[in-house]
Amino acid sequence: MPRQLVSEGHRSFLPWNLDGGREDFSLPRARKEQKAEQVELLTEKLKRAKVAVLTDYRGLTVSQIQDLRAKLRTGDVEYRVIKNTLARRAAEAAGVPGLQKELEGPVAIAFGYDDLATPAKLINEWVRTSRLKLDVKGGLVEGRVFSPDQVKQLADLPSREVLLAQLLGTLQSPVGQLVAIMQTPHQQLLGVLNAYKTKLEAA
């Protein structure tokens, strides 16, 4: 039996698909494709970012969000207001489903692609200077889900440059070893520094 074309106002649609189920006309195809692209883009950002800080921007005006975005941009940190339904799909696709529980209410994510501490540091600085409230909901650090308290602790970490300066000032290492240290990830640098500090204290 051929499908009947049904008119609804200025729209016409076929109410049943070939499998006998009702067609989904709640969203035009173009918007569906756009949302799929947004999920793909967000998935790529979650995978590529070394750190992603989730914030609750409730109460901030558009101009205040723009000001925060400009502040974060000075550290090459990208700040994006996201839609939770799309972000949950992206978190699943990125292999971090544990992040989904933090995706409730108004959420914007600060993506950092270089230094682990930079996003949290810049957010802290902006909150201090603007005297505005910006709650941290959690985060993602090198693929691991962090609690709000753990994310805030990142702001207390010395920068990579400071760590290297401390190491250069204390370690008596051949040039080759220093080059190897400079190429290690941020967290490993912290481990090296703490191990050396413990060694000095035990000596």
Residues 6+ apart with CB under 8 A from 150: 139, 141
pLDDT at position 145, please?
92
Sequence ranges of the domains in the chain: 46-154, 160-202
CA dist., res. 191 & res. 189, Å (int): 5
pLDDT at position 159, please?
63
pLDDT in tens, 114-154: 888 999 999 999 999 999 999 999 999 988 999 999 998 88
Superfamily of domain 46-154: Ribosomal protein L10, N-terminal RNA-binding domain (3.30.70.1730)
DSSP conformation class of 105: S
For residue 12, the cross-strand partners are 7
Q: Could you tell me which of 39, 45, 173, 191 has the C-alpha nearest to residue 111? A: 45
pLDDT at position 169, please?
58
Residues of the chain with pLDDT under 50: 1-25, 176, 196-197, 200
Q: Could you tell me which of 81, 130, 126, 138 has the C-alpha nearest to residue 108? A: 81
Q: Could you tell me which of 140, 134, 146 has the C-alpha nearest to residue 43? A: 140
DSSP conformation class of 58: T
pLDDT at position 115, please?
86
pLDDT at position 156, please?
82
pLDDT at position 25, please?
44
This prediction has a pTM of 0.65
